[in-house]
């Protein structure tokens, strides 16, 4: 039986659930926050990714009125040369993204928001540099890589077949997957969270 964690995950991403499970943070509930991310624009992209994470957590907090629960939300954006790469919607989007990122460095910005039971809010921006190799035409036509890239920021999954496209990273690996575990855990502790035994 899994230990109770008093945690609610405000996300539709199975990857974020899997990440939390890796360190024993098993959400009691996983709720898809209904927000319009396309309407959230701040003056700089790094603030936008944090604001989206906050809006996700705040939606769940206001709608469900959980007591004694910590709400976690995250958002991920890939950024290069003034352009953001959100979730690739189809195979053509995956190909386009990978072609533009091929042989170049880009940044993965992760926004995290944690809301405590008493309403205290902690936010964090996590930045990871990712160095892509030059991707061949054959690789751009590989079904495993392309299919896996759908619904992923930037059009690749570093924890899967996308790992063969990445030469190196500087920063948090789990941030590129979808949620920096180091920072989530420390935000929880900072807000007074303790794991039940």
- Is 172:128 a contact under the CB 8 Å cutoff? yes
Q: Both tokens of residue 64?
A: 């469900």
144 is catalytic: no
- Is 101:154 a contact under the CB 8 Å cutoff? yes
The catalytic residue among 75, 92, 151, 183 is: 75
The contacts of residue 128 (CB under 8 Å, 6+ apart) are 107, 108, 110, 169, 170, 171, 172, 173, 175, 176
Task: Say what the pLDDT of residue 1 is.
Answer: 35
Task: Say what the pLDDT of residue 196 is.
Answer: 63
pLDDT in tens, the chain (197 residues): 345 579 999 998 999 999 999 999 999 999 999 987 777 777 788 999 999 999 999 999 999 988 899 999 999 999 999 999 988 999 999 999 999 999 999 999 999 999 999 999 999 999 999 999 999 988 888 889 999 999 999 999 999 999 999 999 999 999 999 999 999 999 999 999 987 65
All structural domains of the chain with their residue ranges: 7-190
Q: Both tokens of residue 118?
A: 């008493």
* CATH number belonging to domain 7-190: 3.90.950.10
Q: Classify residue 49 by burial, with Cβ atoms within 10 Å: 0-12, 13-18, 19+.
A: buried
* Three-class SS state of 160: coil
* Alpha-carbon 131 to chain mean position: 18
* Alpha-carbon 108 to chain mean position: 9
Task: Say what the pLDDT of residue 77 is.
Answer: 93
**Strand 70-80 with 105-115, pairing:** antiparallel
Helix (H) or strand (E) holding 129: strand 121-132
């Amino acid at each position: 039986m899994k230990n109770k964690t008093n945690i609610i995950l405000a996300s539709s991403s199975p990857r974020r659930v899997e990440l939390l499970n890796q360190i024993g943070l098993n959400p009691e509930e996983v709720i898809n926050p209904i927000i319009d991310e396309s309407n959230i624009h701040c003056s700089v992209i790094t603030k936008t990714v944090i604001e989206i994470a906050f809006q996700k957590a705040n939606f769940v907090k206001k709608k469900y009125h959980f007591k004694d629960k910590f709400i976690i939300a995250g958002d991920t954006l890939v950024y290069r040369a003034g352009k953001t790469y959100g979730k690739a919607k189809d195979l053509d989007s995956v190909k386009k993204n990978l072609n533009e990122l091929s042989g170049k460095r880009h940044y993965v910005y992760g926004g995290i928001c944690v809301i405590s039971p008493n309403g205290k809010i902690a936010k964090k921006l996590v930045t990871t540099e990712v160095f892509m190799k030059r991707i061949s035409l054959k690789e751009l036509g590989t079904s495993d890589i392309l299919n896996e890239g759908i619904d992923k920021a930037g059009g690749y999954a570093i924890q899967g077949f996308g790992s063969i496209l990445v030469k190196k990273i500087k920063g948090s690996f789990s941030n590129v997957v979808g949620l920096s575990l180091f920072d989530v855990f420390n935000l929880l502790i900072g807000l007074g969270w303790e794991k039940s035994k």
